[in-house]
Chain A
Amino acid sequence: MAAPEASTAAVPTLYTNNTLRNAFGGVLSFFILLLIGVLAFSIRLFSVIKYESVIHEFDPYFNYRVTQFLTKKGIYEFWNWFDDRTWYPLGRVIGGTVYPGLTLTAGTIWWLLNSLNIPLSVETVCVFTAPIFSAFASWATYLLTKEVKGAGAGLTSAVLLAMVPSYISRSVAGSYDNEAVAIFALIFTFYLYLKTLNTGSLFYATLNSLAYFYMVCSWGGYTFIINLIPMHVLLCIVTGRYSSRLYIAYAPLVVLGTLLAALVPVVGFNAVMTSEHFASFLVFIIIHVVAFVYYIKGILSPKMFKVAVTLVVTVGLAVCCAVIAVLIALVASSPTKGWSGRSLSLLDPTYASKYIPIIASVSEHQPPTWPSYFMDINVLAFLVPAGIIACFLPLSDASSFVVLYIATSVYFSGVMVRLMLVLAPAACITSGIALSEAFDVLTGSIKFQLPGVTSNAEVDAGETSSDTSEAQTDEVKAEKPDDTSKNRPLKKSKKKERELAENPPAKATAKAKAKAEKKRLLALPLEASVISLLLLVVLGAFYVVHSVWAAAEAYSAPSIVLTTRSRDGLHVFDDFREAYAWLSHNTDVNDKVASWWDYGYQTTAMANRTVIVDNNTWNNTHIATVGTAMSSPERAAWEIFHSLDVKYVLVVFGGLIGYPSDDINKFLWMVRIGGGVFPHIKEPDYLRDGQYRIDSQATPTMLNCLMYKLSYYRFVETDGKAYDRVRRTEIGKKYFKLTHFEEVFTTHHWMVRIYKLKPLKNRIRGKAKKSKLKTSSTSSSKRSGTKKKNPWQ
């Protein structure tokens, strides 16, 4: 209940009535939290304002499609949903392979709104789910940090989290992905764990299991929780911090949490069978042993206890060795040692690039670069060490948890850029603590160094805070100093209370004593404190400016519609939707469309057509088949596609307008993944002296593969030179014809090209003879550069 007292800084000392103070402070922090929520929500709306209310990128389209299915068909149909629109001809059991938390959340919101006769579309609900949950996440951060270092630090952390760029990147309006709700669930689970740890209440322990269940429903990152909490418990036991509160915080979580986690179809028996969960069971055993030891210690005399210990240790060691041996044998017998590929690549960062190209090919699974740290958490990176130090003054159960959390998440973020998202809340919490403690110390020293009576000093402190808030003109920024000013008077007012309560009669002497004491504690000169206070405010302002810039410019693009600003106004490249709309209206509903897996989710969601592979990369062989087809010559590719019953092939081509993430740039991954399963595709065949190029120096294999042909078919006719604006070169082979494919649609800026497989020719023999003749003539005619020649015809 520090927050209510905090507000007294701004209130004249006249109000000594405690209840009134409490009420005022409570209302004030409530409103600040409300504003933080509004800030967290509204900073994520740049994408809607600058672009439109639309689902972003790739995975969100799948989630959107699942949500549509859920709202249309109901929950039971959803669990049993076998999707035959994807992974043709295998299909995919959606109900059993998807984390349902996000879908169920959005579905529930939609259902609730519609039962109140508020006719919002499913799309609108999905678009705004992430911003709403980021508001929840910042409130959860407030609660969590409040458990660690009091309400002032809580409010600071909440503000920081509301606009941390790393989290914004995953939760702008339209970014309808698991992480959007999972971060809230993560923070809230940690909060409830700390709350249980601080109170020892079984009520919170139960809530904690439920929050953990929600987290398991939402995101595969739940394994982070189920490993971090045992680590913390172990840390507490090792450092001699075992208490019954720790037992209550942990034991119910493991039992209830594991039971609940097993209810989620996608987790199921994995909750007890994979290595990710073993740590929790091991610590579960340890904590019981420790609890038992403490109990025995309590009822036995010290001498008897010593005897018992030696007895138990010898027997226990033997049993433990046996159990561990069995466990190791069990684990070792499974091929991946019981770990999933993604987890393994976390433990060994080089694992994926060595063994699983499909995981390595995803850009968000790469290790981050240093600038990306600065981009994603900005000044927090500098505040984190200070926050860690603050956590040690003094070290409590809760603050040790925060230290552990930041340490592990820094490691994980270093492995995979995507896990920067887990680091962000930890960084916000520690930075919030650091900022709040720094303000506390600085304003405290200003207050006691200023001449005049204590009461005046307190008013001054209040004024300083209002000054700082005025200094920041930006509306968004204004909240932070307000909050930081909250925690500053925290100790002060407590101290004042003590003064008032303890020695009202001998006021003067006590004051002098207290002053002297305080001065010794906060021996900072006045000028230094004022300057560092200002510097901190500038630092905060810099963070706010950076966050707003990141939200507005860097992370708001929906990536399905691109814009460029040129001299003659804004250019919109809406080619993806043009192609998907064309597919959905002008092809048969049962046609199969082949494309690289990146576009699978979008094709099923926007065009409603069956795809061969999609972004849920569960079947490496199938993806390798498509990769092989794309890297094969036309005839072989046609046969592969024909055997898969494919009617249309979709390629993304950025050469005309300079869109860099097109299929030609992703092509080497197709070769690698294809070659991993079908050895006749060899990566060196596509590289000239180890260099990937598509100009006249490119290898013949490269110039004859399907991807090259489909991308550059008739490209030369646009400008006469066939200059590729992405690769910044003229392409190698300019004039060629397609024999087995025909162009059926190309979008306005050529970004998406759709080809149709030609049906089998009736007269094959005559054709074959002709092709032989042509092939012989190609080598010469290719040099001369005249039109109409094709080695495959």
Chain B
Amino acid sequence: MEAPIRAREALGFILFSLLFSICRSSSLNHLLISNAERRIDLSSHIVKVYLTLKVENAGSTPTSEVFLSFPPTQVDHLATVEALVTKGKRKKTTLVRLDVKPTELPDAPNDAKYFAIYLANPLKSGESTTLEVLYLLTHSQEPFPAEIAQSESQLVYYRDSVLILSPYHIKQQTTFIKTPSTKVESFTRVEPSNRAGTEIKYGPYEDHPPYSFSPILIHFENNSPFAVVEELVREVEISHWGNLQVTEQYTLVHAGARHKGVFSRVDFQSRPTLNGASSLRYLLARLPPRVHSVYYRDEIGNISSSHLRTDSRKSELEIEPRYPLFGGWKATFVIGYGLPLQDFLFETSDDRRYLNFTFGCPLLETVVDKLTIKVVLPEGSKDPSAVVPFPVEQHLETKYSYLDVVGRTVVVMEKKNLVPTHNSHFQVYYTFKPIFMLAEPLMLASAFFLFFVACVAYLHIDLSIRK
């Protein structure tokens, strides 16, 4: 309960300080946004915001940077920001991805955080361009009431500003908010605003100065299960004998409204739509094709409720936790599978090898609070380096597995706050001499050889004192 209050205070504070900051942030004023349209999708627990900005250069110098600003409370929950620009005219439009990086501006009002979009071609004076921005927010829907009984449905708050927080002057802006169902308890009215079906429309609002802010609060029903993986450790072990073994350890929690009081199985089984509507009954994991030896278990043994469907392009593993997860309930489990190595390991022209594998979590519609990927390279690998499309923390470890002597190099990558859009590929480069593959078989063979020699020697040596 404390966090939202703090958030509201912070937002209010920002609002007040805007007046002061407008005067100072003059360096940005040569750009202006002629039209902004924002669509906020609240249908799952991951908030998706599509922002279409028409940016105009009203100044005299060309510029190649466009800044997006976010209030600090939102930045903590911001999982990813992507920007696209439309190229071409009319029907031949293509979308080009642009670089987006978090930056600091010297005169940021009240800890507002910035992301800079780097345009491919500088925007000349008087020109305009259209940017498509997508950003995803996690943990941004606050259950209210915070505790619900089994038969109640889950209601949540969503807080945002109806005016887009921007360092630029916005001539015209509209915001559409899509709710998962028509059941909306309440929403803040900022005229003109109206609700139709599952959509709430705010705007259009004309001519708002930079850093305008107007908080809104929407209270609505969201029964989609809030599947959050608190911690996920993925271990990818490369064996040059042809197998890639993946082991994933999950700590899953239902982050929605906490379950209160009785859990009645008879209600849950007989009236599934009314009872436990927001409970998490199953999860879908999308695994690579040609997956084999899949297992799903936890620390006390195999969990028998899972189904694997494979076809040539993908494999889907449907898993049910041991028990349906209600709000606040936790479960831990491990998924493991083997993959053919040739699908994922390639050689570069300079005789190095690299592993090409997906980064994020294979579960659909799931937020991962903390992800650790460990790539276990074969024993004897050298010069490991990882290439990841977004910033991660990296370090190296050593792991000892079956009959290792020097240990295997492990590339460890850690990232916080992941959403399914992070499921892009990353690469780990290393060098490896195939002769190392023979080390362990030779070691075993020589150990047995020595054992037999010792046996033969023992049988032929007479150590008795008396003859």
Using CB atoms, name the residue of chain B closest to A754: B263
Residues of B within 8 A of A750 (CB): 265
Cβ A581 vs Cβ B270 within 8 A: no
Q: How far is the CB of B146 from chain A (nearest CB, A)?
A: 17
**B401 interfacial by beta-carbon distance below 8 Å:** yes
C-alpha gap A52/B301 in the complex (Å): 8
Please encode chain B, from 380 to 405, with 1 for each CB lying within 8 Å of some chain A CB and 0 for all others.
00000000000000000000111111
Cβ A581 vs Cβ B403 within 8 A: no
Cβ B264 vs Cβ A743 within 8 A: yes
Please encode chain A, from 563 to 598, with 1 for each CB lying within 8 Å of some chain B CB and 0 for all others.
000000000101001101110011000000000000
Cβ A743 vs Cβ B262 within 8 A: yes
Which residues 263-292 in B have Cβ within 8 Å of A in the complex? Answer: 263-266, 269-270
Please encode chain B, from 308 to 339, with 1 for each CB lying within 8 Å of some chain A CB and 0 for all others.
00000000000000110000111110000000
**B300 interfacial by beta-carbon distance below 8 Å:** yes
Cβ B264 vs Cβ A581 within 8 A: no
**A521 interfacial by beta-carbon distance below 8 Å:** no
C-alpha gap A750/B298 in the complex (Å): 21
Which residues 224-274 in B have Cβ within 8 Å of A in the complex? Answer: 261-266, 269-270
Cβ A585 vs Cβ B329 within 8 A: yes
Cβ B300 vs Cβ A581 within 8 A: yes
Please encode chain A, from 32 to 65, with 1 for each CB lying within 8 Å of some chain B CB and 0 for all others.
0000000000000000000010100000000000
Chain B interface: which of A116-124, A132-140, A248-256? A116-124
Cβ A585 vs Cβ B262 within 8 A: no
C-alpha gap A743/B259 in the complex (Å): 13
Cβ B266 vs Cβ A744 within 8 A: no
Cβ B262 vs Cβ A744 within 8 A: yes
Cβ B404 vs Cβ A585 within 8 A: no
C-alpha gap A747/B270 in the complex (Å): 14
Residues of B within 8 A of A747 (CB): 265, 323
C-alpha gap A25/B266 in the complex (Å): 68
Q: How far is the CB of A242 from chain B (nearest CB, A)?
A: 29
Residues of A within 8 A of B302 (CB): 52, 54
Q: How far is the CB of B378 from chain A (nearest CB, A)?
A: 14
Residues of B within 8 A of A119 (CB): 400-402
Please encode chain B, from 126 to 140, with 1 for each CB lying within 8 Å of some chain A CB and 0 for all others.
000000000000000
Residues of A within 8 A of B270 (CB): 717
**B304 interfacial by beta-carbon distance below 8 Å:** yes
Residues of B within 8 A of A577 (CB): 300-301, 322
**B303 interfacial by beta-carbon distance below 8 Å:** yes
Known A119-B400, A581-B322, A717-B266: A586·B330 in contact at CB below 8 Å: yes
Which residues 169-183 in B have Cβ within 8 Å of A in the complex? Answer: none
Using CB atoms, name the residue of chain A closest to B270: A717
Residues of B within 8 A of A580 (CB): 300
C-alpha gap A717/B268 in the complex (Å): 12
Cβ A117 vs Cβ B402 within 8 A: yes
Q: How far is the CB of B379 from chain A (nearest CB, A)?
A: 10
Cβ A606 vs Cβ B300 within 8 A: yes
Cβ A117 vs Cβ B401 within 8 A: yes
Q: How far is the CB of A274 from chain B (nearest CB, A)?
A: 38
Cβ B304 vs Cβ A574 within 8 A: yes
Q: How far is the CB of B322 from chain A (nearest CB, A)?
A: 5
Which residues 385-441 in B have Cβ within 8 Å of A in the complex? Answer: 400-405
Cβ B301 vs Cβ A54 within 8 A: yes
Using CB atoms, name the residue of chain B closest to A602: B300
Cβ A746 vs Cβ B331 within 8 A: no
Which residues 728-767 in A have Cβ within 8 Å of B in the complex? Answer: 742-748, 750
Residues of A within 8 A of B300 (CB): 54, 577, 580-581, 606
Which residues 468-483 in A have Cβ within 8 Å of B in the complex? Answer: none
C-alpha gap A718/B328 in the complex (Å): 27
**A561 interfacial by beta-carbon distance below 8 Å:** yes
**A782 interfacial by beta-carbon distance below 8 Å:** no
C-alpha gap A714/B267 in the complex (Å): 10
Cβ B301 vs Cβ A118 within 8 A: no
Cβ B322 vs Cβ A718 within 8 A: no
C-alpha gap A747/B268 in the complex (Å): 11
Cβ B323 vs Cβ A745 within 8 A: yes
| Selected contact of B266 from candidates A52, A116, A117, A718, CB within 8 Å | A718
Residues of B within 8 A of A746 (CB): 263-266
C-alpha gap A743/B263 in the complex (Å): 6
Residues of A within 8 A of B262 (CB): 742-744
Chain B residues in the interface with A (C-beta under 8 A): 261-266, 269-270, 298, 300-305, 322-323, 328-332, 400-405
Q: Using A718-B269, A743-B264 as known contacts, list a sample of 10 further A-B pairs with CB atoms less than 8 Å apart, ordered by residue number in A.
A: A54-B300, A118-B403, A119-B402, A561-B301, A561-B304, A581-B298, A585-B332, A586-B330, A743-B262, A748-B323
Shortest Cβ-Cβ A-B pairs, 9 listed: A746-B265, A585-B330, A54-B301, A572-B304, A52-B302, A578-B322, A117-B400, A581-B322, A717-B266
A-B contact pairs, 25 of them (CB 8 A): A54-B302, A117-B405, A118-B403, A119-B402, A560-B301, A561-B304, A572-B304, A578-B322, A578-B323, A585-B332, A586-B329, A586-B330, A717-B266, A717-B270, A718-B269, A742-B261, A743-B263, A743-B264, A744-B263, A746-B263, A746-B264, A746-B265, A746-B266, A748-B323, A750-B265
